A = this chain, B = another copy of it.
Amino acid sequence: MVERRKPIPVNEAVEKVMNYRLKGQTEKISINESDYRRLAEPIIAKHNIPSFDKSPYDGFALRSVDTAEASRDNPVEFEVIEHIGAGQVPQKELKNGQATRIMTGAQIPAGADCVAMFEICNAYEKNNQSFFSIKRRMSKDQNIIGEGTEVLKGEVLIEEGTLINPGVKALLATFGYHEIEVAKKPVIGVIATGTELLEVDEELQPGKIRNSNAPMIASQISRAGGICRYYGKLADEFESSYLAVKDALDEVDILITTGGVSVGDFDLMPDIYEKLGAEVLFNKIAMRPGSVTTAAVKGNQLLFGLSGNPSACYVGFELFVRPVIQHALFNNKPYLKRINAILADEFPKPNPFTRFVRSYITYESASVKIHLAGIDKSNVVSSLAQSTCFMVLPGGTRGFNPGDEVEALLLEDMEGQKDFS
């Protein structure tokens, strides 16, 4: 018998899941392993930048007061008492009429208060000693990048939860964060159900199809920032299925089950949830695809029953599982980024339910166009491969035309947004 299920709105389903969202954990890793992990601590400036007064140019550091009388007709002479490269530390303090030859980035010597670029200096030697003359007045602090003028010690530069991109990595390195507290990746278990399923390396058999959902979800988990643990296929037998689910729950933070193509495959799950003592949050959502998505909670663990239909499974994961993972990674923008876009194609079907249509984005003179994925092919199989977003078409509408403005949820954006809608 098919159980009667009451569909709830998508927003409500997302909210229910996020009430039981996973608490994030942290771990310490090397900066060298940190690409695209999320920070579990803010990056704080551990020292001023620059950490010393430095020169922005190659030139001579000198005392501006010594140039007071300099003019086109009255060159003033300086004796060069030291040569300083970047990374070298000046040893000598300048006195009246003395200067230090200095390279870009190098520390300004004691006594000096400005830098004259080589181009305005006339350098020469006398008795094996370097000198130069200058025909213009310099002012105090001219061509000096003062200590702390770029960043002051203690400043919070990057918030926790931020993704470590190449620029963030440069900041980490600058301040000596060689070990970093990052969000620990939650472990997401995946169990496939359905006797019609073959594994990827099995030969095709009559009446059967290969299990494409589990590898697909594994990729989605990885893209969302989690670690996938695949437990294989369940037979359609209650006791062994119950035990498999129960055992998996001991090892994972979140458990996903996904079926084959048959609705019948899910028949066991309600009874398994009951025997586990898991509370079902919802088992039907007013949306297409993915209406049979189920979520349940046992203690602090979420269990998701995703549809066996590949598109429905894909959508169910992105809408309901992804934000839970992102929240556990300390991202305060855990939801898919939602933008507006101009529909490039026709979508003539009336729409009783909210629809999440496999789509991709293009750009045209600073505006965003959205296209149906796979519209040029009769098959839907390859449309997921083309998809970089979902077009969100609200229920109760009679179809959409090219030029209409619609909403899109971006699947490959890494920033996200604060609220679901």
Contact = CB atoms under 8 A, between A and B. Distances in A.
A106 B207 contact: yes
A210 B299 CA distance: 47
Nearest to A50: B209
A386 interface: yes
Given A106-B196, A341-B366, A166 B384 contact: yes
Interface string A147-178: 00111000001100010111111111111111
A170 B216 contact: yes
Given A32-B215, A167-B382, A176-B210, 19 more contacts: A51-B204, A58-B264, A85-B262, A86-B262, A86-B264, A88-B195, A106-B207, A107-B206, A149-B378, A150-B381, A157-B382, A165-B412, A166-B217, A170-B215, A172-B200, A176-B202, A176-B203, A178-B201, A341-B366
A412 B35 CA distance: 13
A405 B210 CA distance: 49
Contact of A207 (B52, B165, B261): B52
A367 B342 CA distance: 9
B260 A166 contact: no
A298 interface: no
Contact of A86 (B176, B195, B223, B385): B195
B194 A260 contact: no
Contacts of A200: 31, 172-173, 176-178
Interface in A362-417: 363, 365-368, 378-387, 405, 412, 414
Nearest to A223: B166
A23 to B, nearest CB: 26
Contacts of A49: 379, 381
Contact of A263 (B58, B194, B381): B58
A43 to B, nearest CB: 8
Contacts of A378: 149-150
6 contacts: A58-B263, A86-B207, A173-B214, A175-B210, A176-B201, A366-B367
A196 B105 contact: yes
A171 B212 contact: yes
> Most chain-B CB neighbours within 10 Å: which of A103, A196, A218, A378?
A196
> Most chain-B CB neighbours within 10 Å: which of A158, A170, A216?
A170
